[in-house]
Amino acid sequence: MLFQIFDAFKPRLHDSNSKVNQVALEAMHKMIPLLKDNLSPVINMLIPAIVDNNLNSKNPGIYAAATNVIQALCQHLDNSLLLQPFCTKAQFLSGKAKQDLTEKLA
């Protein structure tokens, strides 16, 4: 069931409409404390959707929302669940996104 929900939700996290994208990130931020480690089956699908484009966004609202989501993940999920997806993404990112994710890894 969780896969079906997040399969439908994931495209909104990088929607071409910036308002849709930002609202999706803000909704994700609210979901994380409620779902916590129950997100573990979908975390490998969510991290790229959250990080790709959003952490390098020139739109300050999208960047702030993505940063808040990453912070919430670090606060509410077991860090061992985040280590591999964060490392994988950090290898292939550039700019501010790479710096932000590397700081979280440290």
Domain of residue 85, residue span: 1-103
Domain count, the chain: 1
Is the pTM higher than 0.85?
A: yes
User: What's the CA gap between 18 and 34, in Å, rounded?
Assistant: 25
Taken as a whole, the chain contains a residue count of 106
Question: Residue 72: which pLDDT band, with cuts at 50, 70 and 90?
Answer: very high
User: What's the CA gap between 9 and 97, in Å, rounded?
Assistant: 22
One-letter amino acid at 28 equals M
Q: Could you give the dihedral angle defined by the CA atoms of residues 27, 32, 33 and 35, in that order, rounded to the nearest 10 degrees? A: 110
Say what the pLDDT of residue 40 is: 94
Residue pLDDT, tens place only, 26-47:
999 999 999 999 999 999 999 9
Token pair for residue 25? 């990130």
